[in-house]
Amino acid sequence: MTNGVEYLSDGCIVDFDAWESTWEKAFTTLRVRDASKWSSPSQIKSSSILNSNNPHESGASLIDGKCAHPICVVEAGHTNYHTANSAASTVHAEAFARKQRETMAEILFEKMDAPHLFIAPAPALAAFSVGRQSGLVVDVGGGGCRATPIIDGLMLKGAQRRSGRGGEWLSDVQYRILNQRGIKVNPRYAVKVKYERGGGGSSTTSDGSSSSDVIMEDRNNDNKSTEEMGRVGGMKKIVQYPPTTTNSFHRNALRDVMYEMKTGGHCVVPNYTDAPTDGSKGSSTNSAAAVASSDATSSEENFHNYELPDGTQVDIGGSGSNLRSLPGLLFEELADDATRSSSLSSQSVVARTLTTLPLHKMAHEALSQADIDARKELCGNIILCGATTLFPNLEQRLSAEMSAICPFTYKCKIIAAKPVERQFASWIGASVLTSLGSFQQLWLSKLEYEEYGVTLGCQRFP
């Protein structure tokens, strides 16, 4: 399937051809157009497309080219995060979002032959996934985090706040820490394991690359034949880069290594009482050193080591930077450029953010932009979603931070579903929404699309 990074930019579609190819691949994989999938055995037997004894071997097609189900599309739901104070830019953002919806509707109706269509923003669907029509949705994903007030199922676009701190940003900081320690990260595809027949021998060192290298810099072709050897037990690990490796493949492989290390179970969000309170800010070149401020957050005496794919042992809590408290950076004050994504991501669009505040202050600012009569209800329904929220103790830390900065008359309650439900909150919310009997009249049918046009048809979407 097409990589989403190739056609998405800050959640917005920039390459609709690749987006259409993704839908085609999904339709083929799920057999959406397969006539035999939605037919009873008696209908299949009498169908003219199954005249042969074995239609699959004879080449007879079971596909009639039509989609049997309505389609609910989840859009990013982002507001303008380039120049928030410019009225002209806000109008441009609204026009851009409207054009996105119209293009999606045209493709799904014209190319995918969808019978009915509905487009809904992801924050509203995340609230529906936990049975709430109103609440403050705090979504922390791979590309960043955002806080969106939802009232009666409608998103307050002007009150939404978004930051570039997310899973990919944490992976960037983690790599900088390894880089500062002089540890070279090699992807799994370049590691080969060979078992030794003889006795021991000492482990070899890295190739001496500079510690200032950035993780996702494109590899030069003359470096792909480099070999490194590490000895673990009775086997020898050889690092050898194939000559035909592309730069994008290499970047994605390194991102996978950083993701595996980050989610290895050792990363824990520091407690609220252990968090630094001096409010000191970091810098772009020294942002990784902010992890060291939480060295004392863990009471464990022995930090276990983490083994990289090439056999390199990484001390999780040593060398002045505690990787165990890496997720705590989501709650710390950092400089503007410290929240920008490095070259870990293939695109630098995450750097364009609306705010650089930490997670709890960003949620408080979004809460302050809502109507004063609705703030108490929003405080009591803070909905946590996104895969990056699965770090241990993040829910408790956010609850403590929000209770500390909100008025004492507001009772802050964090609603965190099960891990799987948090990862797929938008999908679950769309399933809940479309199964309601009162929702069926909100579908945009293809007949209405052909009669009123795409511009008028898309006006019914929230």
pLDDT value at residue 123: 94
pLDDT value at residue 39: 53
Q: Residue 385's closest CA among 342, 345, 424, 440?
A: 424
pLDDT value at residue 289: 45
Cα–Cα distance measured from residue 423 to residue 139, given in angstroms and rounded to the nearest whole number: 10
Q: Specify the pTM.
A: 0.77
Tell me the HSE value of 96 on the side-chain side, using a 13 A CA sphere: 17
Contact by Cβ (8 Å): 215, 288: no
pLDDT value at residue 201: 47
pLDDT value at residue 33: 79
Q: Output the tens digit of pLDDT for each of the chain's 462 residues.
A: 345 556 777 777 888 898 999 888 888 888 887 766 655 555 544 544 444 444 444 333 444 567 878 999 999 887 544 434 444 455 567 788 888 899 999 999 998 889 999 999 999 999 999 999 999 999 999 888 999 999 999 999 888 888 888 999 999 999 988 888 888 888 888 887 766 555 444 443 334 333 333 344 445 444 444 444 455 455 667 777 787 878 888 888 899 999 999 988 888 998 887 555 444 444 434 444 445 444 434 434 445 788 888 888 888 875 556 788 899 999 998 765 444 444 444 333 333 336 788 999 999 999 999 999 999 999 999 999 999 999 999 999 999 999 999 988 899 999 999 999 999 999 999 999 999 999 999 999 999 999 999 988 888 898
pLDDT value at residue 234: 56
Which amino acid appears at position 171 of this protein?
A: S
Q: Is 73 exposed, middle or buried (0-12, 13-18, 19+ CB in 10 A)?
A: middle
Helix-then-strand count for the chain, H and E: 13, 16
pLDDT value at residue 331: 93
pLDDT value at residue 86: 45
Cα–Cα distance measured from residue 358 to residue 334, given in angstroms and rounded to the nearest whole number: 8
pLDDT value at residue 384: 95
Q: How many CB atoms neighbour CB 138 within 10 A?
A: 27
Q: Is 145 exposed, middle or buried (0-12, 13-18, 19+ CB in 10 A)?
A: buried
**What are φ and ψ of residue 34, in 5° steps?**
-75, 115
pLDDT value at residue 214: 38
Cα–Cα distance measured from residue 270 to residue 396, given in angstroms and rounded to the nearest whole number: 10
Cα–Cα distance measured from residue 262 to residue 323, given in angstroms and rounded to the nearest whole number: 9
Cα–Cα distance measured from residue 60 to residue 54, given in angstroms and rounded to the nearest whole number: 8
